[in-house]
Amino acid sequence: MLGISLSSLYNLANSGAIAHYRFGKRAIRFDEDQIKEYMESCLVAKSLPKETMVIPANLSVSLRNSKSALEQFFEEHDRNKTKSKR
């Protein structure tokens, strides 16, 4: 259901991330609703309905033409380096 190994599931249970029932030292039982609740808590982003997802047509062009701060830093560094050599 979770797509993880049993040892990972037991580690999550021992850390308290997933609620569980413990019977004695070795018997552990999980409630399906608790596992689903844990899976929901791991959700990073919920998808938006299609009508709210508006992507501008020029988005890919603007992303390609924009420079990151890191690129701008190195370009400025290279310009200053060539100026100092003169």
- Residue type (1 letter), 72: Q
- Nearest in space to 9 (alpha carbons), one of 39, 45, 46: 39
What pLDDT, on the 0 to 100 scale, is given for residue 81?
A: 73
Per-residue confidence in pLDDT tens, the chain, 86 aa: 667 888 888 888 889 888 889 898 888 898 888 888 888 888 777 666 666 556 655 555 544 556 666 777 777 777 887 777 66
Domain boundaries, the chain: 6-41, 60-85
Tell me the residue ranges of DSSP E strands in the chain. 21-23, 27-29
- Residue type (1 letter), 11: N
What pLDDT, on the 0 to 100 scale, is given for residue 56?
A: 59
